[in-house]
Chains A and B, each alone.
Chain A
Amino acid sequence: MQFSGMILGLAMFVGIWVGHVGVRWLEARSVHIGPPALALFVLGAGLNLAALFGSNLTLAGLGSVLGFIALYSAIEVGRQAWRVQHSHAPANPRNPRHAAYLRAGKGTTVDLLKRDPLGVPQPIIADELPAPPQHIASDCLICGDPACVLGQRGVRVTWQTAGYTAGVRS
């Protein structure tokens, strides 16, 4: 029996799992995203370098697989910050960077993915979003223009109208 595939396959699954959860955890707790991204980059590069000089293919492959997952996770830290700003991931109000997003009317503390699929488009209801900052309360959530009316559809998308339906990003 050849156990290399099983070892590397399970490492792939666990690596993605830990990377997935770890990136969320790190991004939610880091005031600046640069240091964790750099740490993951150094970890990934180090693992790949070690793999390059490994003599056993299974162990060296393991190092490289985990190394590339770490390198990918370094990029994901930045993408996670984007998700938080666009309400695709919950903001941590204790993190000053996230608190600044919330003050600027970006993001939400609610995990909008924590729900079951219904088989139909699900509107994001206003209660799930943070209270709007006063200065943008009547602005269009798409372009920020208080006078904006989305011409073609004739729908003005603001916090008040809760016309914040599926597909509309803040």
Chain B
Amino acid sequence: MNWAAIAIGLFALGIIGFGFLWVIKLEYYGGYLWWPYALAAGVGLLVSSLFVGDVGWSALVGIFGGSLLWGATELKEQAVRAELGWFKFRQHKRLPPFVKQISRLKPPHL
């Protein structure tokens, strides 16, 4: 029986739960304009997974990368949710570097 595969699936489930948490926290403290950094981190992890020799570890790195890609697309909607009062809203956020350039870009969302 392939319990390692089930462990990979459980890890993915845990990462989905962690994804909700970090998206809420990042939006609360930093705002949704951090999305390019989350996107870049996700792509970086996916590419890094190509160079991890072990199948299992490569899978974990890739799954974490995939969840960061998804989180990057959720930040904008989370910002709207907070502004509508469905989540805690913080007025003064720590904005990301290059915020002016980022605000000209259209944030991705699913």
Contacts and interface: CB of A to CB of B under 8 A. Distances in A.
Interface in B20-78: 31-32, 45-46, 48-67, 69-70, 76-77
A12 B16 CA distance: 9
A9 interface: yes
A117 B76 contact: yes
**Interface range for A:** 35 or more
Nearest to A166: B85
Given A7-B62, A54-B2, A2 B13 contact: no
A5 B5 contact: no
B70 A17 contact: yes
Interface in A145-170: 165-168
Interface of A: 1-13, 16-17, 20-21, 48, 51-55, 57-58, 60-61, 63-65, 67-69, 71-72, 88, 112-113, 115-122, 124, 165-168
Q: Which 5 residue pairs spanning A and B have beta carbons closest together?
A: A5-B49, A5-B62, A64-B9, A9-B62, A166-B85
